[in-house]
Amino acid sequence: MLRAKLSGVAVAALLLAGCASVSEDRTATMSPNRIYAEARDEMNAGSYEKAVPLFEKLEGRAAGTPLAQQAQLEKAYAHYKAGEQAQAIATLDRFMKLHPASPAVDYALYLKGLVNFNDNLGMFSWLSRQDLSERDQKAAKESFESFKELVARFPDSRYTPDARARMTYIVNSLAQSEVHVARYYFSRGAYVAAINRAQAALADYRDVPALEEALYILVRSYDALGMTQLRDDSRRVLEKTYPQSEYLTRGYKAGNGKSWWQFW
């Protein structure tokens, strides 16, 4: 019985030792600069999930210093690269709330826009060749708002030119989303619904590629409904606005080839 008790004590001691080794903080004796260097090494190696806790340690260890702010931003980037969009956005929102006067706010806005932009694109969209406009547009709208704020508040920022380009892309995407729905309705014979969505795109957007197809959907839908006057009016607008439109001669065969959204 004594031997059994001793064995139990030994096992318990081993378990406690194991727990202690697991919970041991290897950064306890590191300087803030050393922790930052370790975190950067993990980032450079693509080990973003290992970099995040190091940046979190650095935030606490260097609280109140520019290095802590840098740690917050780099943690957000690590979350982003690890595919953890929600955590990245939460970290950036917290950074901008705590440091509204930071010279890095422009970068925070840019990164927030980029996180939503890439989330909207989807991790595997390049495999399915799925059109950006065919998916939920919530992330696209949130991305646009972040880029819009960046452009308005920091017109001279190094990140502003790229933000402007992505805003144009997003507007094209949102317009194409309307047209995608209109095309879906048209393909199923729901011509009134197709007309409504095509008209919504024409009313809400200007000078975007999707409007050419929106006009063509109007022509085809009005024709299917026997509304010849509206059909002819829509066709005249299509011919005047897009005189070289292949929709006029080839119909939907004109859609073959590279899509407008294959940009980045």
Q: Which residues fall within 8 angstroms of residue 32, CB to CB, at 6 or more apart?
A: 58, 61, 62, 65, 67
pLDDT at residue 27, as a whole number = 76
Tens digits of per-residue pLDDT, 81-106?
A: 999 999 999 999 999 999 999 999 99
Q: How far is CA 191 from CA 57, 182, 183, 196, 255, in A?
A: 59, 9, 10, 9, 20
Tens digits of per-residue pLDDT, 212-263?
A: 999 999 999 999 999 999 999 999 999 999 999 999 888 775 444 444 334 4
Tokens of 134: 């065919």
Q: How far is CA 233 from CA 23, 238, 249, in A?
A: 74, 9, 17
Tens digits of per-residue pLDDT, 128-141?
A: 344 544 556 788 89
Strand, coil or helix: 104? coil
**Do residues 243 and 220 lie in contact, with contact meaning Cβ atoms separated by under 8 Å?**
no
CA proximity to 131, closest of 88, 79, 180:
180
| Residue position matching structure tokens 């956005």 | 89
Residue 57 pLDDT exceeds 90:
yes
Tokens of 82: 């690890």
Tens digits of per-residue pLDDT, 177-193?
A: 899 999 999 999 999 99
How much is the CA Rg of the chain, to the nearest whole Å? 27
Inter-axis angle of helices 160-187 and 105-121, to 10 degrees?
A: 20
Task: Enumerate the domain spans of the chain.
Answer: 32-86
pLDDT at residue 264, as a whole number = 41
**Do residues 179 and 200 lie in contact, with contact meaning Cβ atoms separated by under 8 Å?**
no
Give kind and range of the element (H or E) at residue 20.
helix 2-23
pLDDT at residue 263, as a whole number = 40
Half-sphere exposure (Cβ direction) of 134: Cα atoms closer than 13 Å: 10
pLDDT at residue 45, as a whole number = 96
